[in-house]
Structure 1
Amino acid sequence: MEKQFKINFEAIESYDHLDAIEKTLFDKAMQIRDLAYAPYSDFTVGCAILLENGEIITGSNQENAAYPSGLCAERTTIFYTGANFPEVKIKKLFVIGAPRKATSSIPIPPCGACRQSILEYEAKQKDDIEIYFASLGGEIYKTKSIRELLPFSFDASYL
């Protein structure tokens, strides 16, 4: 018997349709994107995380000539957050990615490794993390939880 997953997400028409905190996260992710170290792919990504205490943490992708040694913006940011604010819940994560010279493109979601890492923190805090992903312009996608982007997810409950 064949079954299907339904993925729920919200398509926000543009930056102008974000609320004030969402605009702040977008702006912070866009600013930190400019500091990405991406000399090989020229694909730059910025991430901004909102903590429950109101603090915003940012990070960008960091490449390496030995490709597996680099790190995506989402993991750079979430690992820093986990190391420095281990007991503070993450409420929202906003990611913006595009080729450096692009003017706009479709929303860029977190890669599989980043999805799994976000899932770990969502499971640890026992509370959903809203995920927003965008490019330089156009629509912005929002999910209420990383589980929407990671069907059949694997977490510590299987161990």
Structure 2
Amino acid sequence: MTNHEIKIAFDEYDSLKELNTADYDLCLEAANALKKSHSPYSKFRVGAALRLQSGKIIYGSNQENVAYPSGLCAERVALFYWGANHPDDPVEAMAITAQTDEFMLTKPVTSCGSCLQVLAEVEKKQSKAIRVILYAPQGPVWVIEGIENQLPFLFFEERLTT
């Protein structure tokens, strides 16, 4: 038997005010994306904002549908829009926030496995790690560099691309 250990790393800030200006502004854009959420069933709004290398901002919000699982998470809405419209302008950073009227969020909401796999594919496609900023309106901010710090067991099968 061989024992393996995996470590992940991220930075935690007490509030958005501690972030650099570019990351702070991107978080405000993610909060703006919340307004476009279509979440009448869960009442759990999620907003995402991507900052591209050119400085362009792309938005995504969760889109629910009564015919589950036809909806889509905010992260994938933004990333798929990027892939369809700006694939040659690398994604530098993504900010994600969530909000609900049902209870107060006191820690950042992490992305689901499907969104993490899509994020991994984007990083691989552009050969560049993406800075992910997760925050709760009333809680800390987590800054994570690269997908390996969120999804240590990535699914990649190189023979599928040959």
TM superposition score normalised by structure 1 = 0.94
| Residue equivalent to 1:152 | 153
Query: Contact between 2:106 and 2:140, CA under 8 Å: does it hold in 1?
Result: no
How far does residue 156 in structure 1 lie from its aligned partner after superposition?
4.6
Deviation by residue 1:115-146 (Cα, 9 ceiling, x = unmatched) = 00011000000010011111112211111101
Q: Give yes or no for contact 1:9–1:141 (8 Å, CA) kept in 2.
A: yes
SS in 2 for 1:154: coil
Distance 1:28 1:124 in 2: 25
Structure 1 position 15 matched with structure 2 position 16: yes
What does residue 57 of structure 2 align with? 56
Partner of 2:84: 83
Unaligned runs of 5+ in 1: none
Q: Measure, in 2, the Cα distance between the counterparts of 1:47 and 1:19.
A: 18
**Matched AA of 2:57:** I
Report what 2:109 is aligned to: 108
Question: Is the partner of 1:75 in helix, strand or coil?
Answer: helix
Q: Which residue is 1:34 aligned to?
A: 35
> Does 2:124 correspond to 1:127?
no
Q: Is the 8 A contact 1:107 1:141 kept in 2?
A: yes
Off by >3 Å, runs of 4+ in structure 1: 100-104
What count of residue pairs does the alignment treat as equivalent?
A: 159
Counterpart code for 1:130: R
Asked whether the equivalents of residues 109 and 134 of structure 1 are also in contact (C-alpha less than 8 Å), the reply is: no
Q: Is the 8 A contact 1:32 1:59 kept in 2?
A: yes
How high is the TM-score relative to the length of structure 2? 0.93
Secondary structure at the aligned position of 2:8 is classed as: coil
Q: Offset at 1:147?
A: 1.6
C-alpha contact (below 8 Å) 2:96/2:133 kept by paired residues: yes
**Identity of aligned pairs, percent?**
36
Contact 1:15 1:138 in 2 (8 A): no
Q: Partner amino acid for 1:146? A: I
Provide the C-alpha distance between the structure 2 equivalents of 1:2 and 1:48, rounded to a whole number of angstroms: 39
Tell me the distance in 2 between the aligned counterparts of 1:150 and 1:158: 21
Q: CA 1:121/1:3 → structure 2, altered by over 3 Å: closer, same or farther?
A: same
Distance 1:100 1:26 in 2: 20
Q: d(CA) in 2 for partners of 1:113 and 1:10?
A: 23
